[in-house]
Amino acid sequence: MNSEDVASIILSSNYSGACDHTPLTNEGILKLTDQQSIVIYGPTLFALKYRVLPCTVNPKIHRSTDYVDVSTFNSIGQGVSFARGRQWSSKRKQGGMYHATSAINFIINEYKLDRNRFIYDWSYDASDKSSLISTVYIDLGNYLSVQFSGGSISPTNIDNPNALEPDHETNIFHCFTYATIFHVPQTADRARTLFEQLSKFKLFPITTATLQMVCHDAQNGFYTSSIRMNQPRITDLKLHYGDEFEIIHEQLLETLQEKDSTGITFLHGPPGTGKTYYLRYLINEIKDKSLIYVPPDLVNDMTKPGFLPFLMKHPNSILIIEDAENIIRDRIQDNFLPNQAVANLLNLSDGLLGDAMHQQIICTFNCDVKGIDPALLRDGRLVIEHKFDKLNVQNARRMCVELGLSDYGNDIHEPISLSEIYARKNNTEADLANGHTTKNNRTLKKRNQKVDPFLGFYS
């Protein structure tokens, strides 16, 4: 960077990071920034270049005790432990990690930088001749710089919402856990813009929720068995379920997570409209509450005498009943099952038992809501009732574009279900995997090349 770049920013004479009376010497800078033995230390490198101390900004990260990184780093980004391919897990999508290759290539192109100017720490494994950058400091010019730290290798199973190109054919990415930007007050807006730009190069953990599935046998009665459930990739709720659904989702999520709350939620609609798909998404959004899942084959067993005593062991939880038609039908019109099933739900939702146990209930079913027992639909008992339906033509075509389907849904001229659209996607992927082509797709080629371990710094 030349002197003209530095001169274009005029610092305030009262800037706290400047030293008015005594010019900052290199020795003084090292003492002020407490660099100690760390070579790559952003505040020091910034001060050595611009002769002032920098402001520092980091992205806000919502931390969770369930979040597990593939690598562990100390406060300055130096590796403490490393586990290749270790599972990331969380109830909510966390801050994620930056894809090193994409982020650095963007910075090089955006700021017209020479990669040979970067300073970085790296490790080398002689056994497989692989290298990994742990920390890199990049001066962007004009009182702005960025430091990436916490270099690691991602697991193979990650959420890649921006379809970033992996560094290896096994879907492995080189990543940085942290990014810190150094600036002066006059370049704060540029720092914010840079973080917004870097957010496009993030990878996220595949979120998984733990469901307590209800089981039953003659010897043990009712008990639970833990199962893990991955969150489906839904990048746009409105695109999947209609323009108003995002508001419904936020209302439902807020109600379900409210402590000591009760009530019933009905999610219904024709088969294939995405009820179960959304339920998997919702389950992964809920935190701090146990999720009790009643599978379809045990729904009828909810009428057994031992079921309510079993539920009493799980207060302040959420009971999920899938394919609940048989237990919520109008007791007058349908005597297929004893009335005890509806009575149990009524008691759990706002009866004496509900006041003691504080359980929310989610029921999914395919039948029309008109056939539901009227007592379950009363205000104060029914929290939310939503009908899932087919997508209109406009949203269906937008969905095809989102999924990258070759025909972009131009042949869709009437409402279509979500499952039908995803079936098209699966058929397209199967064709491509077998080497078949369409007018908008080329035969897939296996990538055998190995990416330069230095992210292209040296060639």
Q: Using one digit for the tens of pLDDT, what is the confidence trace for 190-222?
A: 999 999 999 999 998 776 788 899 999 988 899
Residue with tokens 């039953």: 216
Q: Among the residues of 257-331, which ranges form H helices?
A: 275-285, 307-311, 325-328
- Give the whole-number percent of the chain exceeding pLDDT 70: 71
pTM above 0.85, yes or no: no
**Residue 54 pLDDT class (50, 70, 90 cuts):** very high
Count of all residues that appear for the chain in the document: 459
3-class secondary-structure state, position 2: coil
State the pLDDT at residue 340. Answer: 61
pLDDT-wise least confident of 60-64, 167-171, 275-279, 372-376: 60-64
Q: Is the pLDDT of residue 175 over 50?
A: yes
Please give the residue that has the higher pLDDT: either 388 or 6: 388
State the pLDDT at residue 48. Answer: 83
The Cα 140–Cα 309 span in angstroms is: 64
**Residue 130 pLDDT class (50, 70, 90 cuts):** confident
The Cα 214–Cα 43 span in angstroms is: 55
**Residue 187 pLDDT class (50, 70, 90 cuts):** very high
Residue 336 identity (one-letter amino acid)? F
* 260: its two tokens: 């000591």
**Closest by alpha carbon to 289, among 271, 321, 314?**
314
State the pLDDT at residue 335. Answer: 52
Which CATH number applies to 210-387?
3.40.50.300
Domain locations along the chain:
1-52, 84-207, 210-387, 393-435
State the pLDDT at residue 83. Answer: 33
**Residue 160 pLDDT class (50, 70, 90 cuts):** confident
- Average pLDDT of 283-306? 85
Dump pLDDT digits (tens) for 59-110.
865 444 333 333 333 333 333 333 333 333 333 355 689 999 999 999 999 9
Please give the residue that has the higher pLDDT: either 352 or 36: 352
Q: For the chain, give the mean pLDDT.
A: 76
Considering 240-249, 307-316, 418-427, 445-454, the range whose residues carry the highest mean pLDDT is 240-249
State the pLDDT at residue 129. Answer: 80
Q: What is the dihedral of CA 114, 120, 125, 128, to 10 degrees?
A: -20
State the pLDDT at residue 23. Answer: 63
Cβ-based neighbours of 333, under 8 Å, separated by 6 or more: 371
